Amino acid sequence: MTSHLCRYCRRASDPGQAVSCPWCGAPIDIRLKASESGWMEQPTIPSMTRLSCGKINCQVTGSYVPAAEFGLPADEWIYFSPHALLWADAVTALTPPSRGDGGMMKARGPGHVGVSENRAGELIAVPLKRRQKISVRQGRFLSATGSVRYQWESSCVRYLQFRGAETEFEYPMGRYHLTFTAIGQQSLLLLHASGDTFIRDLADGESILVRPTSLLYWEDKTDLSLHLEYAYVPGKPSRRMLSRYRTIWLRLRGPGRVAVQSAYEQVEEAGAPDYSSFASWHRWPAPATTTRPE
């Protein structure tokens, strides 16, 4: 055996050099955990695991609230949200977020810097090949190397919330999401997930329904749309038409890889969808009447 192909990041590595995948941190000898529907559980990165990202050294420490420690050589840098900064060497050059940086803070070498999300969960390492692009839901990003370009984009799914005479836009996934594009050969993106993480590869035309706030990331070829489930309300037809829908789904259509987290926030119910988002819907019919046996 000359190389090991990781099931999770789909990149090859030398199995004789480490016990974990150097790209995503998944243990090499771990047993694959997959459901019949095609979901794979992303293994937790063991504490003190080193990740490969070019000249930059990255080590994951801790398990309950993990942190990522970066060793930055000269002229190498990473960026992250300001609240994620845990510690930094005195020689590390820290650049506060500016108006044109999208709220990101930069750390440039030489030196060391540590980042953490300051809440329970797990770190997800996503190695990116050159020109590879993925989108991440708002609030899931932790840090990335300087060879990854990012851009804020407006969410493509939304619905309306009626509060008396006012109409408010509500976004089940947040108003914006981040799109990352690798411009270097060895680029690393770190995300924070609540609970366990599951990944799935969707075939061309294959679609699934997930809760909007459980979505972690998706590849650029995956199509997203909103789907509404209306509960059955007994009574006159006019009363049924005014009923609030109880379940808000996000439809993901392949091809592409998607990832979800098992712990997610509840979505507030809404009065009516925004039809410019082209949401599909389904209204459940009345239940069949049954006769109690004597």
pLDDT in tens, the chain (294 residues): 567 788 899 888 776 667 889 999 999 888 888 888 889 999 999 999 999 888 999 999 998 999 999 999 999 999 999 999 999 999 999 999 887 778 899 999 999 999 999 889 999 999 999 999 999 998 899 999 999 999 999 887 776 665 566 656 666 777 789 999 999 888 999 999 998 999 999 999 999 999 988 999 999 899 998 888 777 666 655 544 545 556 788 999 999 999 999 988 876 555 555 444 566 766 666 565 544 454
Q: Where are the domains of the chain?
A: 4-283
pLDDT at 100: 75
pLDDT at 247: 78
pLDDT at 261: 94
Topology (CATH level 3) of domain 4-283: Double-stranded beta-helix (3.60.160)
**DSSP H helical ranges for the chain:** 237-241
pLDDT at 277: 52
Give CB contacts under 8 A, 24+ apart, made by 266-270.
Answer: 266/213, 267/172, 267/211, 267/212, 267/213, 268/161, 268/170, 269/244, 269/245, 270/159, 270/160, 270/161, 270/170, 270/244, 270/245
Give the pTM. Answer: 0.85
Q: Note whether 226 and 172 are within 8 A (CB).
A: yes
pLDDT at 122: 93
Q: What is the end-to-end Cα distance of the chain in Å, rounded?
A: 70
